[in-house]
Amino acid sequence: MAQTPTSTPPESCISPEALNALSRGTAIESLGIEFTRIGADFLCATMPVDARTRQPYGLLHGGASVLLAETLGSTGGNLRVQPGERCVGIEINANHVRGVRDGVVTGTARALHVGRSTQVWEIRIEDDAGALVCVSRLTLAVVPTRGGDRSAQS
């Protein structure tokens, strides 16, 4: 039966610094996303609101928020799979509830469901003042790892 974990399994202990190193040369690095905290039941990262992440009207681009959300949920999911497995996104939704023009947003991901074949994650993105900017839900499929897959390395 599927259960929601209360802590990160010991075999998946990894530091924010290690996740940031793994993100080099990816869209994560290009948008300035940095993993900042890993807790027993959450994962956090920040993203600047600047020329890389704004849409033409000067607001944080919704797509950038979704990239932050999927980064957090997928990373959290991959920290909770068994050896020989990995998570891939199969559905994401996002509600953008507040505009942001500058500063830094912080995303926090928490597992809602961790099962053998699927996981569901909620990601909340807040502005510098702690106001909700976006709330997202990500569904992941748990699949076998293929040889040479960068996401399987942890």
Closest CA to 61 of 51, 71, 70: 51
Q: Which of 11, 70, 85, 122 is catalytic?
A: 70
Count of Cβ atoms closer than 10 Å to residue 3 Cβ = 9
CA distances from 79 to 4, 88, 89, 148 (A): 13, 12, 14, 18
Active site residue 70: yes
Buried b (16+ CB within 10 A) or exposed e, 66-91: bbbbbbbbbbbbbbbbeeebbbeeee
Active site residues: 70
